[in-house]
Amino acid sequence: MANYTSDGKKLLNVEYDVIPQINDMVDEMRVISTDRRAEDEYAIFLMELNGTIRCYVLDEIYIVGNVSGFENLVKAVEAWNANEI
């Protein structure tokens, strides 16, 4: 289990080919799922402290999208698959 932090724009102190995996921690939130849409673009779904789901869309180590407040993982993944994130 790795622990990552971000400055809101990119993951800090990581190599470009590092991708957070399930059960890793990012900004003190646990990664509960990941998905890849393009060669360099992927999403990590995080459980927030209040129980809602947050999605970070990453291009290498850069955060290109950040949406929070999903009621559950299914709704977050549906939004990701529909290109709403």
DSSP code of residue 8:
S
Domain spans, the chain: 3-81
Q: Tens digit of pLDDT for each residue in 4-43?
A: 999 999 999 888 878 899 999 999 999 999 999 877 789 9
Q: Which residues are CB-contacts of 43 (< 8 A; sequence separation ≥ 6)? A: 34, 35, 36, 37, 55, 56, 57, 58, 65, 80, 85
First to last CA, the chain: 26
In this prediction, residue 35 carries a pLDDT of: 93
Mean of pLDDT over the chain:
91
pTM: 0.90
Upper half-sphere CA count for residue 73 (Cβ side, 13 Å): 11
